Structure 1
Amino acid sequence: MFKKEDEISKLLNKDSLIQVENFITKLKRRQIVGSYQVTLETAKLLRNIILGSKWNEINGLLNIVTVVGNELAIAQPIEFAALNTCKRILRIISDEDDELRLRLENNEEEEEPVNFRDEMKALVSQGLSELLDEVEIATQNISSQALEHIHSNEIIMTCGMSPVVVDFLKEAARFRKFQVIIAETAPTFEGHSLAAKLSSNGIDTTVITDSAIFAVMARVNKVILGAHAGEITQNVDLPNQYFDYVEPDLVSLIITNIGPHPPSEIQRLVSESYQLE
């Protein structure tokens, strides 16, 4: 429960505070997990807050999103999508603010008097609706590129259980015959779940132990993995970490919902889409 002296309590009305508190509770209890679900729910939360909060100037709006984002990051540090979604929304707000001010300056004499706050709310609401649409079809847009990257008779290796990878391989299997080798991913053995989903769709699937990866790697044409960020922990012994760090120079291509990109382009894409400061 937020205290009255908390910064967030000063910025949001009672209804918005309740929404944030409920969302934080779900994050802490792991009732909302994964990049897709966290992004979707965070965007919906902030849209409700932006439309329901009383702010009169752009800095107040930016401050609301920033403070809420920080609270979500504290509530569940391993779900980077929550804070990243806030950074994406901050960029949307800044871009819409720049465009609105430029339009009003260029049409100052002809333009009817405009309520800046109402105009901004409408523009930001439209921008957030477009963001939600983009998130909802992101997996579909990624899967639609499968035929560009998977060819007949190839041997593909993967591990874990990524819904995006499942859809990507299923789409390729509609037109191509190929084999998938899956590391079982101990101790969770998510690889078995992935194998079951792929084999049920007629994909030639083989499950191997994690220790056998090195032995079969020479036969593999491509390794396809779902992407996830994790903080690099120092001075801690992790005998069986949940995620492994893959260095950028070992990644040849990153397939996003807006197309494939080499790792060298990711920094530019992030700077164009997210408010980094």
Structure 2
Amino acid sequence: MLLLEPDQEMSDDEMRTFLKNIQQGDDVGTYEAAYQTVKFLRQKLMDTDWVVAREAIELIKKHGAQLRGDQDSSIGNMIRRVLKIVKEEYFSSGKDKTDEKDTQESLQKLLLAEDDEERYDKRKANLKDSVIDSINVLLSELETSSDLVCRHSLEHIQHNEVIITLGNSRLVQAFFQAAAKEKKKFQVIVAESYPNNRGHLLAKALVELGIKTTLIGDAAIFAMMSRCNKVIIGTQSVMADGGLKALSGTHTLALAASHYSVPMLVLAPMYKLTPQHLSAYQDDFNHTVSPHHVMPYSSGEILSHINISCPLYDYVPPRLVTLYATNIGGYSPPYIYRLLADLYHQDDYNLQLSSQSDFSANVTS
């Protein structure tokens, strides 16, 4: 598994290896993927002699398509964030940034934009420097995102509460650790998340931190939920409708919490927010892994008569989520659409369609 320090740059081959690890379900982490993606794109923008915004946008989409592969997690989200930065700097370049009217993209500007602005072909002074500076701000935001999420721990964890979680999330561990440092006394129940049993790792880490922890099997989630005060989990992605793409088994946990009216808190830094929706024809939402933990290969006679699927992720609908704790505050699922408008440009919601449109435009021209 490839892990780099925050100040270490990635080569093209290293980035592809990094992406391969994510697709195979290795414990790389969405933060590392997001952070290294932004650094990789920043390096490409710095090394290339582009003049107008359209050239920068094409460069980002070209390298972004190589990085994303067939998945759309935090890597795709960061590609959209960098594209939004380029477009914002294009419209605000040369204007007084202290004037709020000039710095915001109004609805009228989006609807009535001139043809040359739509293609981002105008030369703007110091555009490249402004884009690089804004990307550096984005990197700083990513570096502090986990700490800002953990600051909410004292608001959401009360004395003598019993909290249930699932799997092994480093952000969830840091969240509990932040509360424990402030002398909060609480108990954590960890579902083991079979067959990977990642919950064992979290339970061990919490015990070492001095937090009272109980490890249970996934089948015991419903029975234990009646004595829990709260569910706190991490997630792979926050979908555009406010739902979750989370570790397999999370839907079961959310249904049990809903049955007993137990609030479910999801820790979700902004780099996990994606403008994608779950659809019936979407093939890249999930990934399956080898089922050898469930059914050993030694059972060859049985395996010849059955098909076993082991998906990595569950979809959890927004009605089962109580609150998202992000690095910019707490939000309910219905507010997700507003955050999407702030983070991403509408034209970049579907990166694959956007890239195909650009390619067709270049061919016809």
* TM-score after normalising by structure 1: 0.82
- Which of residues 74, 80, 88 in structure 2 aligns to 1:95? 88
Measured after TM superposition, the shift of residue 210 of structure 1 is 0.3
| Distance in 1 between residues matched to 2:150 and 2:21, nearest whole Å | 31
Matching residue of 1:269: 339
* Runs of 4 or more consecutive aligned structure 1 residues displaced over 6 Å after TM superposition: 231-238
| Distance in 2 between residues matched to 1:82 and 1:51, nearest whole Å | 19
* Cα-to-partner distance string for 1:107-139 (whole Å, 9 max, x where unaligned): xxxxxxxxx566111111111111111111111
Matching residue of 1:26: 18
| Distance in 2 between residues matched to 1:193 and 1:39, nearest whole Å | 23
Matching residue of 1:15: none
Matches within 5 A, 1:49-88: 49-74=44-69, 77-78=70-71, 80-88=73-81
| Distance in 1 between residues matched to 2:21 and 2:316, nearest whole Å | 29
Matching residue of 2:141: 134
| Distance in 1 between residues matched to 2:147 and 2:96, nearest whole Å | 35
Matching residue of 1:254: 324
Q: Is the 8 A contact 2:163 2:188 kept in 1?
A: yes
Matching residue of 2:304: none
Q: Which amino acid aligns with 1:252?
A: T
* Cα-to-partner distance string for 1:115-165 (whole Å, 9 max, x where unaligned): x56611111111111111111111111001100111111110001100000
Measured after TM superposition, the shift of residue 233 of structure 1 is 6.8
Q: 1:29 to 1:184 in 2, by over 3 A?
A: closer
Q: Which amino acid aligns with 1:151?
A: Q
5+ residue gaps, structure 2: 1-9, 100-122, 238-244, 246-277, 289-306, 348-365
Q: Which amino acid aligns with 1:147?
A: L
- Which of residues 177, 182, 190 in structure 1 aligns to 2:185? 177
* Cα-to-partner distance string for 1:70-125 (whole Å, 9 max, x where unaligned): 22112xx3451111101001111111111114349x9xxxxxxxxx5661111111
Q: Which amino acid aligns with 1:97?
A: Y
The alignment partner of 2:206 has SS state of helix
Q: 1:208 to 1:32 in 2, by over 3 A?
A: closer
Matching residue of 1:244: 314
Measured after TM superposition, the shift of residue 21 of structure 1 is 4.4
Measured after TM superposition, the shift of residue 200 of structure 1 is 0.7
- Which has the larger helix fraction? 1
Q: 1:197 to 1:80 in 2, by over 3 A?
A: same
| Distance in 1 between residues matched to 2:27 and 2:75, nearest whole Å | 11
Measured after TM superposition, the shift of residue 67 of structure 1 is 2.0
The alignment partner of 1:219 has SS state of coil
- Which of residues 196, 215, 221 in structure 2 aligns to 1:213? 221
| Distance in 1 between residues matched to 2:199 and 2:314, nearest whole Å | 15
Q: Is the 8 A contact 1:69 1:83 kept in 2?
A: yes
Matching residue of 1:163: 170
| Distance in 1 between residues matched to 2:199 and 2:279, nearest whole Å | 24
| Distance in 2 between residues matched to 1:127 and 1:238, nearest whole Å | 47
Aligned length: 249
| Distance in 2 between residues matched to 1:120 and 1:275, nearest whole Å | 18
Matching residue of 1:113: none
5+ residue gaps, structure 1: 1-17, 107-115
Q: 1:130 to 1:228 in 2, by over 3 A?
A: same
Q: Indicate yes or no: 2:131 matched with 1:124.
A: yes
Matching residue of 2:360: none
